[in-house]
Amino acid sequence: MIRKLFVWLFVALALGLSFYFYKELPSKMPSKFANFEGSPTAYTSKNLMLFIIPFAMIINSLSLSALSFMRKQGVTFKRLEKILDNISIAVNIVLLVLHCAIIYIGLGNEVNILLLLPIIVGITFVVTGNLLPRVQVKDTHKNALKQASYGMWHQVSRTVSYALFFGGLIMMFSILLPQNLILTSFFVILTLTIVSAFFFSYIRYTRSIKIN
């Protein structure tokens, strides 16, 4: 219940920002950022830019509510409910961050929107790392080989989840670095996170094979 409240809280915050800054924003707002400087390359009506992201957040929130309603009607969603809640929260957080950046730039501030990459990818990695171990694979048949395979999956997925979770956290904290170092640090952290996830999961995989 609390997770669902947070999902709609982010929607309300996005809409509140749109109405609050509506009069201060110009009639045309940045709609496209197609260069490495992350500066605007195209503009469109502020009515569209101020409400298209909150609309996407509403659709995301309604989808979550619909799934919860189906579960209450007897459809089996209980096992995935927390996972879906967390995914919806993450999506709305990412959209809210992007919405705030567009408003900030629309107010006449110069900022490289590419600097949002560490936050967006970091949130995605943290959420994925948190949810991956919850994807439990169970075997209803008493088959020793299958049970061993499922046990191996749980061990490998947990290893990958640690790499993604901590890598995502470090990415988000990288925005505290000097601006000229943020993107470089982000790509270095991204590469190390992916490599470490594959490396340590492979080690765990080979160890599981030897044990079994």
Provide the pLDDT for residue 13.
94
Structural domains of the chain, count: 2
Assign 138 a pLDDT band (cuts: 50, 70, 90).
low
Domain closes at, from 111, 138, 163 = 111
Provide the pLDDT for residue 20.
94
Provide the pLDDT for residue 145.
43
Check whether residue 42 and residue 133 sit in a common domain.
Answer: no
Check whether residue 197 and residue 209 sit in a common domain.
Answer: yes
In this structure, what token pair is assigned to residue 155? Answer: 């061990």
C-beta separation of 46 from 128 below 8 A:
no
Check whether residue 98 and residue 122 sit in a common domain.
Answer: no
DSSP assignment of 78-143: GGGHHHHHHHHHHHHHHHHHHHHHHHHHHTT----GGGGHHHHHHHHHHHHHHHGGG-----SS--
Per-residue pLDDT reduced to its tens digit, 102-127? 898 888 887 777 788 888 889 888 88
Domain closes at, from 93, 111, 129 = 111
Structural domain containing residue 127? 113-212
φ, ψ for residue 43, nearest 5 deg: -130, 155
d(CA 160, CA 17): 37
Check whether residue 103 and residue 120 sit in a common domain.
Answer: no
The residues pairing with 30 across neighbouring beta strands, listed in sequence order, are: 43
pTM: 0.71
Neighbours of 128 (CB within 10 A): 17
pLDDT surpasses 80 at 65: no
Domain closes at, from 55, 77, 111 = 111
pLDDT surpasses 50 at 95: yes
